[in-house]
Structure 1
Amino acid sequence: MQKKTNSLLMPLAKYTLVLPFIFLMTMSLSAKTKVNCTVHKASATDTIYTTVDKQPEFPGGMGAFYKFIGGIVHYPAVDMESRVQGNVVVVFVVEPDGSLSNIKAVRGPSETLKREALRVVSLSPKWNPGIKDGKAVRTSYTAPVRFVMTKTLY
């Protein structure tokens, strides 16, 4: 007589999360352009640059950033049940000390995925700041956070 090993978790086991420290933009803008585009300017220290000589970088590069995110992200249950997936575009400012501020989710497939992307990006350790004319400056940065449910073969 054979034992049946059907469980309630078996249907869920067919689908797993593959959270993206994979893919996507390593930088929001090309560092080759030397144009001083500012998003906001109240004083010299408040300037937020969109184009700098050297873009901000997560320690270890974008692969390490997505690995960090993949290790702490929790796929919202409501989105998992509804099979909602896609990219959440997160925009933030990398401060001269490497901390992140003004973190906003500007686009995403659902409000719950946008909130989760904001949560994990806000937990990020300090970045290497953007450099303009040899000085660390406030730099606007855009990073996609990808939420994907992948069918796996068991």
Structure 2
Amino acid sequence: MAGNIYKNPAFYINNNTVANTSMPNHNYNMKHFLLLISIILVTNFSSYCQSQQNGSGLIQITTPIDNKTFAIKKLTKDSVLLYTGRLSNIDQEIRQGKFYFFNNGKVCASGEYDQNIPTGLWIYYNETGDILYKINYSKVIDYLKNEAMNYTPDSVINKNFSKEDEKYMNKNGTFVAVEKMPVFNGNDTTKNFEEYVSKNLKYPIYAEKNGIEGTVWVTAIIDVNGKIRNPEIMKPSITDLNIEAIRVISESPAWKPGCHKKIPVNVLYIFPIKFKIRD
């Protein structure tokens, strides 16, 4: 075959390292959305328990409201209020309903959870109470549902390729290695996408208040039109970080699509989105 074949690089956001990674196979239907939600819920509890075991020094107060609902209040070891909210399960600490977060006694953010998943409109405020920005996480959930139910790889384009080319595709016909990789906003894709994420990524307030950091690995397809399609969590963190990583990737501006034999093709990419609290 003429030309060089390029495997997909993994972007380390907030880090200059680039690594080549082999690509997993994916099925595109509703069960992957359900699996995504299941991963989010399971990993959230294990991560939270670990935080407690590591001795975060935070004080947690839970008060029964009724048989199914508990009020939760989290404070620093110096009794400074961090946030308040409600739980539907006190043993697994499943967040359910409205949460309010505080800086210096003033509300700095508010939003709702549905079984630990951020949903609806989340609003962040500055020190004077003015709105800094809003994030609609219901829009992200709806996007994931739509992609899981409606997206299928464009099998028509595969008619342009031979059996020899199939070794560069996964079982769904999506390329994992191509002659010309997708390009984001110019020639320096790694730097430009890092800048996009750095500018648009919002550190989830729950994770920040609990001192939770980590890297969320997301796979997504850059399709023949340069759009981000069907993002899936490959290596998750807690719920809040997972959803925010999906949001910032799914809202990415269009890319220049990858090409194989000078034909635009669907290309599978891996995006590791790194969350690190500033000192």
- Looking at structure 2, the residues matched to 117 and 27 of structure 1 have their Cα atoms a distance apart, in angstroms, of 20
For residue 125 of structure 1, report the CA deviation from its aligned partner. 0.6
**2:182 alignment counterpart:** 56
168, 184, 191: which one aligns with 1:37: 168
Which SS does the other structure have where 1:40 is aligned? coil
SS in 2 for 1:79: helix
Q: Cα 1:134–1:101, aligned 2, differ >3 Å: closer, same or farther?
A: same
TM-score under structure 2 length normalisation: 0.41
Distance in 2 of aligned mates of 1:50 and 1:80: 35
Conservation of the 8 A alpha-carbon contact between 1:52 and 1:131 = yes
Task: In structure 1, list runs of 5 or more residues that go unmatched.
Answer: 1-19, 42-46
In 2: Cα distance, 1:71 partner to 1:150 partner: 15
8 Å CA contact 1:84, 1:109 repeated in 2: no
Q: Report the AA paired with residue 238 of structure 2.
A: S
Assess, with a 3 A threshold, how the Cα gap between structure 1 residues 124 and 139 changes in structure 2: closer, same or farther: same
Shift of 1:23: 2.6
Q: Which amino acid aligns with 1:53?
A: E
Alignment partners' CA distance in 2, 1:25 and 1:110 = 24
Match of 2:16 in 1: 23
Aligned to 1:5: none
CA distance in 2, matches of 1:52, 1:149: 36
Measured in 2, the distance between the counterparts of 1:77 and 1:130 equals 36
Q: Which residue of 1 aligns with 2:264?
A: 136
Task: Give the C-alpha shift of residue 70 in structure 1.
Answer: 1.3
Bigger relative CO (Cα 8 Å, ≥ 6 apart): 1
The TM-score normalised by the length of structure 1 is 0.71
Q: CA deviation digits over 1:101-134, x for unaligned, max 9? A: 0111221321210100000111101111111111
The more displaced of 123-132 and 102-111 is 102-111
The farther-off stretch of 133-142 and 100-109 is: 100-109
CA deviation after TM superposition for structure 1 residue 150, in Å: 2.8
Q: How does 1:1-150 map to 2 (within 5 A)?
A: 20-25=13-18, 28=21, 36-41=167-172, 47-60=173-186, 61-150=189-278
**Aligned pairs, number:** 124
Q: Percent identity over the alignment?
A: 23
Equivalent residues of 1:27, 1:143 under 8 A apart? no
Q: Quick check: which has more Rg, 1 or 2? A: 2
3-state SS, counterpart of residue 84 of structure 1:
coil
Equivalent residue, structure 2, for 1:8: none
- Give me the whole-angstrom Cα distance separating, in 1, the residues matched to 2:167 and 2:193: 27
Distance 1:115 1:74 in 2: 11
Question: Judging changes above 3 Å, is the alpha-carbon distance between structure 1 residues 93 and 21 closer, same or farther for their aligned structure 2 residues?
Answer: same
- The superposition leaves residues 10-44 of structure 1 with CA deviations (integer Å, 9 ceiling, x where unpaired) of xxxxxxxxxx4433437646xxxx87332233xxx
Secondary structure at the counterpart of residue 140 of structure 1: strand
For residues 49-86 of structure 1, what are the alpha-carbon distances to aligned partners after superposition, in whole Å with 9 as ceiling and x for unaligned?
11111222212312111111111111111100111112
d(CA) in 2 for partners of 1:70, 1:96: 26
